[in-house]
Amino acid sequence: MSAESTGNRESSAIPWDSSALYVILTSSLMGVMGVPLISPVLPELRPVFGVTDAQIGLVITAYTLPGIFLTPFIGLVADRIGRRRVIIPLLFTFGIGGAGIAFATSFTELLALRFLQGIGASALVTLAVTLIGDFYEGGRQNAVMGLNSSMIGTGAAAYPLIGGGLAGIRWNAPFLFFGVGILIGVFALLTLPEPEGKQSSDVKTYLRRLRDVSVHPQALAIFVAIFAIFFVFFGAIQTALPLLLSDEFALSSGEIGLTLAMVSVASATVSSQYGRISQWRTSPELIALGFVAYGTSLLGVWIAPSPLLIGASLLVFGVGLGIAMPSVDTTIVTFVSNRLRAGMMGMRTSMLRLGQTLGPITFTYLAETAFPSATEGYRFLIFVSGALILVTGLIAYPILRR
């Protein structure tokens, strides 16, 4: 084997001896825990608090709403004072707010604690991906990016199963699980080093530079893609589908969790190979192919006559996430310098949170108010969103290939 080949292999190897790697991975796992863990429990919250489907959508909206407004600001602060001083308090806030929900005595109290938890979660994945760009370069950066996405997918696959299982004990048991965030905060406090490259320019100059980058056509296209992905993912898959599975097929929380886990199983498997996949097509092309997979999956869910076939269709959605999300993150971290990286990732997460916030309330509100029954509404909305996403991907891919 040549020295060059050995060097290339080493440069793309996972740095398992890096303490920062474990903080990155665990922070990402916390950042995506907030919705998949409790999605199987949503139907059970209706009788516990005496609320409607539209109100249940607020359980997700209250969590995602803070990220829309806070994440760009948090990115600015992280660029100026350091990543470590920001990510550790967020981990503690996430864990305390989430675990506190287990003791909520009213729906209003539950929403308030979800909002607090959402503040903590608002920039965890943002800062984790930013740290990847800070600590690693080249092939190693792609390898860690793929590993991070794979861990997110693995966690997201496990969370519905964990949430569904814990809900079988009592409705509030899944919320206690959020307390793991406190332990991760302690771990980061003891082990995470501060990367170099903090922002030294004044705030006005920083904001001007961030604005100039954010309005670049490539950046705008990425933001629109992120919004669309998570509007549909959280509206159709994470909110409407659990209610549909409960009302139409009478599935339990555990069975709903197992069905939803199919998305993350496929996502984790595909994203673990992102280092190789990224050599096959460019990041924009992979994002377009992700849209094709999303649309195909949603149409499969719409036409599927049984939960088993719905689960099979969700595997295709996971394939789309597995190729598209690492491509989005790689595009952003290589698009700007390390002095603007956290701020740009904050803009990315703000658009992601906007999609997560509007998707659930849009799907539940339209299904309840515009159709004879909510079940009919969910099926129709899944069909329409799937068709639109599929057509978008089919149009974009050949254009990007040229």
pLDDT tens figures, 281-307? 888 899 999 999 999 999 999 999 999
The verdict on residue 8 lying in a domain is no
- Asked whether residue 314 is assigned to any structural domain, the reply reads yes
In a domain, 5, yes or no: no
Looking at residue 177, what DSSP letter applies? G
**Residue 179 lies inside a defined structural domain of this protein:** yes
Is there a domain that residue 329 lies in? yes
Q: Give how many domains the chain has, as a whole number.
A: 1
99 phi, psi to nearest 5 deg: -65, -30
Taking only the tens of pLDDT, the chain with its 402 residues reads 444 444 444 456 788 888 889 999 999 999 989 988 988 888 888 888 998 887 888 898 899 888 888 887 887 788 778 889 999 999 999 999 999 999 998 999 999 999 999 999 988 988 998 898 888 877 788 788 878 877 887 887 788 888 888 888 888 899 999 999 999 999 999 999 887 655 555 677 777 887 887 788 888 888 999 999 999 998 999 889 998 998 889 888 788 888 988 987 888 888 878 778 878 888 889 999 999 999 999 999 999 999 999 999 999 999 998 899 888 888 887 777 667 777 787 788 788 888 988 998 899 899 988 999 988 999 999 999 999 999 999 999 998 886
Q: What is the DSSP string of 214-259?
A: HTSHHHHHHHHHHHHHHHHIIIIIIIIHHHHHHHHH---HHHHHHH
- Domain for residue 351, yes or no? yes
Tell me if 352 sits within 8 A of 328, measured CB to CB: no
User: Distance (Å, rounded) from C-alpha 357 to C-alpha 288?
Assistant: 23
Q: What pLDDT, on a 0 to 100 scale, did the predictor assign at position 91?
A: 96
What one-letter code names the amino acid at 164? G
Q: Is the pTM of this model over 0.75?
A: no
Q: In this predicted model, what pLDDT tens digit does every residue of 124-183 receive, in sequence order?
A: 988 998 898 888 877 788 788 878 877 887 887 788 888 888 888 888 899 999 999 999
- CA distances 348 to 23, 278, 288, 343, 353, Å, are 21, 20, 17, 9, 9
Q: At what angle do helices 217-232 and 283-303 cross, to 10 degrees?
A: 20
CATH number of the domain bearing residue 215: 1.20.1250.20
In a domain, 63, yes or no: yes
Q: Is residue 11 part of a domain?
A: no
- The domain containing residue 236 runs over which residues? 18-401
Question: How does DSSP assign 274-323, residue by residue?
Answer: HHHHTTTS-HHHHHHHHHHHHHHHHHHHHH-SSHHHHHHHHHHHHHHHHH
